[in-house]
Every structure is written in C-alpha cells, then in structure tokens.
Structure 1
C-alpha cells in the first residue's frame, strides 16, 4: 500500500479568486513505513502573496521570484503521486488548489482524482475524536508527536508531521521497526550453542473454534468500518490467498 502524505502552501484561500499554490510537499509511506522519498517544490505563482498568508507560512514574493512555475513541475509531481493514496489534512482545500492548477494547463491533465485516491485525515480525525479540536497541532498534542520546529507552516514539514499523526491515529507504529530495511544493513542473527533435541515433543497446533473465527471476523469488520475499508490484516490476508 503506497501512500503519499501531501500538503501545500498558497497565496491565499480561494483558488476561484485567482490564488495559486506556492509550495508542495509530499512524503511517501509504503506498507505503513516511511520510505524516505520526498517531493518538494517552491513555485512562482505569477501573482502577489497575500500579507495574511505570509504571516502563516513566511513565504514572500521576493523568495518566489526565481522559482519554477507549476507548469514546470506538474509532470514530475504527477509522476510522484501516480496511483498512490494521498493523505491530506482538510483535503478539500489542497485538492481544490491542485485541480485549479491542473485546469490552467488544459483538460488533458485531468484532475487529482484521475491520478490517485484521496483520503482526508481531518475527516478521519473527526470520526475518531468527535467534538474535539482536530487541527494538526491539536493532534500532535493528543498523540505526543513533537512539532516544536513548526513555528511557521511549511508544506514538507507539515507533510512529515502529518505522516506521524496519521500512522498514530490509525493504530500503526510510528518509530518502532520490527523488520530491517536494506539501508539499515543486514538483520542480526541470534545464534545459540544449545542443540535442539530431535526427540523434543512436537509443537501443539491449536485450531480456532467456529466461535473464535466468527469473533475474529466481527473484529475485522469493525476495523474496516473505522478505517474506511483499509483494514491491513484483510489486505495482507487477501494477498496471501491470491
């Protein structure tokens, strides 16, 4: 399962009023583990950034003057997110801007939904924590995730923080890796000088009862409902059976 955690910064709040994207940050997660792959671009919007927006993200017109236009980075961006599941906090905002930028390039570019699936982590947070604050900062406090470096908004930084929040919120490990990755070097073998007797008793295989199987299926149904059909156990079981 390949997921891209995405965030944008913009010149203002309304793409229909001509506001543009000025930063895109993407952080890749695969099988619930960060891969280290990122996509990050600052973008010249060919218009002024609203002063209120600068107060939020600190990105000025002068800084953006020599940056590429969206048309210059659109293909590499779409190649990065193609066929992935985008995880976006308040997805309507970012997708609205991305669709607006693609629309400027022509109908052949389609919309974001033509290239990948979108999941709104804000909607998920509201289901998990109804009646509570579910901003990214509030979720960091709730899940004890360090966001002390977030004095200003930034697309890549926010995407990386959201990745930790999303993994914690959906019940996955954030920092503990039970399997070694290739870049971590070979996994250590634990060896023992104690021989294993050939006369040892065979391990007992305990088969689940019908009631236990039914209870397990009921639990997976609940996980499916709470994760919008993304129960990892069922996905892996389907791959094994396939």
Structure 2
C-alpha cells in the first residue's frame, strides 16, 4: 500500500477569500515504511500572507517571490500523489485549498486521482474524545519529539504526522492469548502488536498494600465485603 502523508501552508484560512497554497510537504509510506521519496516545494502565491498566517509559518512575500507558481508544479505534484492514499491532519482544510488550486487551472478534483483520504484529526478525536488533538498534542501523547518545531513547516509537519499516524495505528492484541483481533478506528485497520512486545509489570509490594487499603476503605463504606473482594475470590479460568 502506498500512502502519502501531506501538509500544506497557506496565506490564510479561506481559499474563497483569495488565499493560496504557499508550501506543500509530502512523506511517502509504502507498506507503512518510510521510503525517503518525499515531495517538498515552496510556491509563489502572487499575494501577501495574512498576518495571522504569517505568524504561524513565517514565509514572507519576499522569500516566496522567486518561487514557482502553483501552475508550474501542479503536474509534478499530481504525478507524485497519483493513486496513493493521502494521510492529512484536518483533511478538509488541505483538500479544500488544493482543490481550489486545481480549479484555478481547470484540473479535476484530487479525489479522482487518489485512492482515498485518512483524516488523522478525525481518527484522533475518536481515539481521544474531549482531548486536545493538535499535531503538537499528539506528538506529546505518543512521545514524539517536536522540540525543533518553532514555526509550522509543511515538510516538517508531514514528517511529524507520519510518526504520529504510525503510532496511532500500531494496534493492540486481543486479551486472549491465542486470537489476534482486528480493530478499526475511524475506518483505519490497526495492526496487532506481537505478544512478545507486550510488557507485563507485576505490582510492587507498596502498590499491593495501597490496593489493600483501598479495598478496606470500600468494605467499610458498604459495611460488608465490596464486589472487588468477590471478584478476587473467583477461581481462575
């Protein structure tokens, strides 16, 4: 399976107001392995960035002035993503901007040239409801270092997102010892973790003592034996 982890930077947040794509960064995965066949380009949007956007990405009009226009890189980008599944954080935003650029060139929408789109923000919200699920928050959650990310950059963000995506779709075994369970989150099939990779840490004496104190407190509260005592007394299967 060929997947392209993609990110863009733009002059603002709404293409209907004339905002344009100024950077595209892509990282290629084949069978969940990084290939190093990445795609990265800066683009001259032929307009200034809005102040809020400029504060995010730091790509000035002067820096972009000698970069190619989107029409000059469109075919190369199109060929690169052809037939791949795209992995994007907040996919409607990036897809909306890229399809806007395609429309300006009378090109058909991206959806007709790719095999599908995975929105990692939607997957993260399903996995972590009510939590912050920005790229930075997910890097923290999965232990991925983003200390070098001072400003947003399309290629850097795509590289970080690739690590996040691989982490969030790594999967989990069934609790049964003999059966591997297929799990899907947001339509994404999670891969099982080999049993040899599951580390079991027994409780320490202090932890066991603290657990016993908790059960004693529950016994006292119910003036008898709490249900956890009964569960502990059940014979092993």
Deviation at 1:229, TM superposition (A): 5.1
Q: Which residue in the other structure is 1:58 paired with?
A: 58
Structure-2 residue corresponding to 1:114: 112
1:11–1:53 CA contact under 8 A, matched in 2 = yes
The separation in 2 between residues aligned to 1:229 and 1:34, in whole angstroms, is 18
The 1:130–1:153 alpha-carbon spacing in structure 2 relative to 1, beyond 3 Å, is: same
CA gap of 1:8–1:120, structure 2 versus 1, over 3 A, is same
**Which residue in the other structure is 2:187 paired with?**
228
- Distance in 1 (alpha carbons) for counterparts of 2:12 and 2:93: 11
TM superposition score normalised by structure 1 = 0.74
What do residues 47-81 of structure 1 show as CA deviations (whole Å, max 9, x unaligned)?
11112111100000000100000000000001111
- On the 8 A contact 2:44/2:67 being kept in 1, the answer is yes
Secondary structure (helix, strand or coil) at the match of 2:23 reads: strand
- Per-residue CA distance 1:197-232 (angstroms, 9 max, x = gap): xxxxxxxxxxxxxxx99x65xx22xx1x32515356
C-alpha separation in 1, matches of 2:37 and 2:80:
9
The runs of 4+ residues in structure 1 deviating greater than 3 Å are 229-233
SS in 1 for 2:36: strand
Q: Any residues of structure 2 matched to 1:5-154 within 5 Å, and which?
A: 5-106=5-106, 109-116=107-114, 117-154=116-153
Verify the 8 A CA contact 1:170 1:227 in the aligned structure 2.
no
Runs (5+) with no aligned partner, structure 2? 172-176, 193-237
Contact 2:169–2:189 under 8 Å retained in 1: no
1:18 Cα deviation after fit: 0.5
Q: Deviations over 1:9-47 (max 9, x none)?
A: 000000011100000000001111100111000000011
Q: Partners in 1 of 2:14 and 2:186 — Cα distance?
A: 30
Question: Hey, what's the Cα distance between the residues in 2 that align with 1:156 and 1:99?
Answer: 19
Q: Which runs of 5+ in 1 are unaligned?
A: 173-211, 234-242
C-alpha separation between the residues in 2 aligned to 1:75 and 1:16? 23
Structure 2 length as normaliser, TM-score? Answer: 0.75
Q: Distance in 2 between matches of 1:31 and 1:54?
A: 36
Judge conservation of contact 2:169–2:191 (CA < 8 Å) in 1. Answer: no
Q: How many residues are aligned here?
A: 187
Do 2:32 and 2:166's aligned partners in 1 also have CA atoms closer than 8 Å? Answer: yes
Q: How much is the aligned-residue C-alpha RMSD, in angstroms?
A: 1.8
